[in-house]
Homo-oligomer: A and B are copies of this chain.
C-alpha cells in the first residue's frame, strides 16, 4: 500500500515531535544565556571564558537551578524547570512530558557531543601537524609520565592508606590517568597559547594520554569483571589506535588533495564548509568504529585540512558554528556535574572527601611532575605543561561510572573519584592562566 500518509505515523515519535522542538528551543536559550553570562564574567575577572561556561552549567544544572537536567534514577521530567515551563506555557500536555523530556535530553546530549567534535575539529585546524610531530617525542614522554606517576601513586596510596584490595586500587589509579582534551585545548586556545611550544606539547600529550586512558580502561574493566586481562581485546585496541594514527598521517596528502578538488568543484552555497564537515564526521565515525573516540577523528580531520589554501576561509566559517555548538558541550558538562558531593556538612560525603583530598594531591602532583620529562636545549615553561595536563574531565567520570556499575568502587571511592574530576577540571583553567605571562587578552577569546 502506498497510501499510508507521510506524516500520519501512529508512533509516539510523531505525536511528540512538535513538543520536542519547543523543549529544545527553550533549553538552548537557557544554555546560551548561561554560557554568555558565565563566559563574560569569567573573562572580565581575568579567567578563561570556558571556566565561566562550566560554572554557569553547574548553576543551571542538577546542582542548583535544574534548568538543564538529564533523566537519571533521581531526576525525572518533574525535576526539570524547562519541562515545568513548557507545561505552564501550555506548549506540552502533561501526560507527554516524560517522553518529551527524554527526547529533548537525547537531542541536547547529541548536540553537546557534536559540540566537542566541532571544538576538536577547530583545534585541529588551528594546530599545525608539522609542529605537533616535531614535539611528538616530548609529548609522548609527558603523556607516559603523566599516566605512570598518578597511576602508581594512586594505586599504592589506596592500598596502604585506605586498605582497599588490589583490583580496586588499580581502578582508582587508572581513573587518575587521562587528561581531558576538550577543556585543556579550549583553555589554551583562549589564552592564545595553542600554537606555542608548551601548547603543542600539552595538546599532543593530551591526545596520547587519551588513547592510553582508553586502553587502560579496557584493561581494568576486563580485570574487574573476570579478574584477568583479556589480552586479545586489549591488543586489538592498541592495534586500532596505532592503525588509526598511522592511517590518518599516511592518507593525509591524498585526503587533502581530494578535499581541495571537491571543494573546488562545488559552486553552490556551503561548498567549503560542507565537505569539511563531511570529512570531519567521517573521521569521527572511524574514531568510534576503531573503539577510540569521535573527537580524535575530528581532531585528525582538522589537522589534515590545516595545510589547505582555503584555510583562512574555512576557519572563518567554522567559527560561528563552533560558537553555537561548543558552549552546549561545556554547559552540559557543568550541568551534569552534581557538586553536592563536595558538601562536607553531609555526613555521608566525609569519607569520600578524605579519600578525595588524597586523590587530588596525587592527581595534581602527578601531572605537574610531567614537566620534568621535558628535555632538549629549548627553554620550555615546564610548570605550564604540567598544569595543562591537570584537568581530568569526562574520561575520569567514565571510570567512575564503570567502577560503580561493576561494583569495584564503593560509594565513598566513587564519590572521591568524582570530586577529584570536578576539582581538577575547574582548577586547571585559572591555574593555567597564571602560568603564562600576562598579555593583552588573547585574540582567540575575543569576538570578531
Question: Which of these binds chain B: A11-19, A156-164, A225-233?
Answer: A11-19
Establish whether residues B49 and A4, one from each chain, have CB atoms under 8 Å apart when the complex forms: no
Contacts of A438 on B, CB cut-off 8 Å? none
Contact B273 A90 (CB under 8 A): no
Q: State in angstroms the CA–CA spacing of A75 and B318 once bound together.
A: 36
A242 at the interface (CB under 8 A from B): no
On whether the beta carbons of A401 and B49 are closer than 8 Å, the reply is no
- Given A32-B278, A288-B18, A348-B2, residue A8 in contact with residue B400 (CB < 8 A): yes
- Which range holds the interface residue count of chain A? 35 or more
Distance, CA A448 to CA B314, complexed state (A): 11
Q: How far is the CA of A106 from the CA of B99 in the complex (A)?
A: 12
Chain B min CB distance to A372 (Å)? 33
Asked if B404 and A8 make an inter-chain contact with CB atoms under 8 angstroms apart, the answer reads yes
Q: Find chain B residues with CB under 8 A from A338 CB.
A: 2, 4, 6
- Shortest A420–chain B CB gap in Å is 13
| Residue A7 at the chain B interface, CB threshold 8 Å | yes
A358 at the A/B interface (Cβ < 8 Å)?
no
Query: Contact between B324 and A321 (Cβ–Cβ < 8 Å)?
Result: yes
- Asked whether A249 is an interface residue with its Cβ less than 8 Å from the other chain, the reply is no
Q: Give the 8 A-B CB pairs with smallest separation, nearest first.
A: A270-B323, A271-B447, A317-B320, A7-B401, A3-B411, A8-B401, A2-B340, A9-B72
**New A-B contacts (9) at CB < 8 Å, excluding given A8-B405, A274-B327:** A13-B71, A36-B270, A91-B289, A107-B110, A270-B447, A271-B447, A273-B320, A273-B323, A318-B320
Binding site for B on A (CB under 8 A): 1-11, 13-14, 17-18, 20-22, 24-26, 28-29, 32-33, 35-36, 39-40, 43-44, 49, 70-74, 89-91, 102-103, 105-107, 109-110, 113-114, 117, 265-275, 277-278, 281-282, 284-285, 288-289, 294, 317-321, 323-324, 327, 336-338, 340-341, 343, 346, 348-349, 352, 397-398, 400-402, 404-405, 411-412, 414-415, 418, 444-448
* Chain A to chain B contacts (Cβ below 8 Å), 22 pairs: A3-B349, A4-B73, A4-B74, A5-B401, A7-B401, A8-B400, A8-B404, A9-B71, A9-B73, A13-B102, A17-B109, A21-B288, A22-B285, A22-B288, A24-B114, A28-B281, A32-B275, A40-B265, A49-B269, A266-B447, A269-B446, A273-B320
